[in-house]
């Protein structure tokens, strides 16, 4: 479980494709030698297991399913990655509850500057739009954001200067894809509404 508050930006060092799953090596400014193997790390919003590490580098294995459903299939050496360690009991919940299970990919359609902030408009898969609501939460490339406005096929978010500088969203350009995770509360509410009411006999 994560919060969507990015703690570091890593860089893809190399990709090992000579195996069943793709192993991705990510360089970070943090010392990883004290981090236990097997921990979960959100890499641009995707929950992955750390399988190896060495000082300022760690490795994760990515399945073909994850590659096809997320932007990780587009990663190349040098790509920048938003990083967040898993939430511990007692940690501050600064964003919202994020599972790291990506629901789909959103496409950046428009960037507008408003004051010191950037207003980003994303197009999302139609089947996910029902879960996105004004002033609700959404996760884009692992970043917890509040939805500003919602249209028929897309939505807007406001990126403050701190988030623009300290996450990879500041480097996004029109047409770029990002990993999208809907609010898990919206998912469960929708599920409950879809379940037929139970008939109770007495």
The CATH number assigned to the domain holding 77 equals 2.40.30.20
Q: 122 and 60, same structural domain?
A: no
Query: Is 93 among the domain residues?
Result: no
Determine the pLDDT at residue 194: 77
CB 80 within 8 A of CB 168: yes
Report pLDDT digits (tens) over 148-172.
999 999 999 999 999 999 999 999 9
Q: Which residues of 119-158 are buried (b: 16+ CB within 10 A; e: fewer)?
A: bbbbbbeeebbebbeeebbbbbbbbbbebeebeeebbbbb
Q: 108 and 43, same structural domain?
A: no
Q: 12 and 81, same structural domain?
A: yes
- Cα separation, 104 vs 40, whole angstroms: 20
The predicted model scores a pTM of 0.91
Determine the pLDDT at residue 195: 61
Query: Is 199 among the domain residues?
Result: no
Give the chain's domain count: 2
Label residue 197 by pLDDT band (50, 70, 90). Answer: low
Query: Is 109 among the domain residues?
Result: yes
């Amino acid at each position: 479980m994560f919060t969507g508050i990015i703690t570091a930006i890593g860089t893809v060092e190399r990709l090992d494709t000579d195996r069943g799953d793709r192993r991705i090596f990510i360089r970070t400014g943090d010392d990883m030698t004290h981090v236990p193997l097997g921990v979960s790390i959100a890499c641009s919003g995707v929950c992955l297991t750390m399988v190896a590490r060495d000082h300022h580098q760690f490795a994760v294995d990515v399945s073909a399913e994850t590659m096809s459903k997320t932007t990780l299939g587009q990663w190349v050496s040098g790509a920048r990655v938003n990083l967040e360690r898993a939430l511990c009991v007692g940690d501050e919940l600064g964003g919202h509850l994020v599972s790291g299970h990506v629901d789909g990919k959103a496409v950046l359609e428009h960037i507008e500057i408003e004051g010191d902030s950037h207003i980003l408009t994303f197009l999302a898969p139609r089947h996910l739009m029902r879960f996105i609501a004004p002033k609700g939460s959404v996760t884009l490339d692992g970043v917890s954001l509040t939805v500003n406005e919602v249209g028929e096929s897309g939505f807007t978010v406001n990126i403050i200067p701190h988030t623009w500088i300290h996450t990879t969203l500041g480097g996004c350009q029109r047409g770029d894809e990002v990993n999208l995770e809907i609010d898990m509360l919206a998912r469960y509410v929708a599920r409950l509404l879809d379940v037929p009411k139970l008939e109770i006999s007495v």
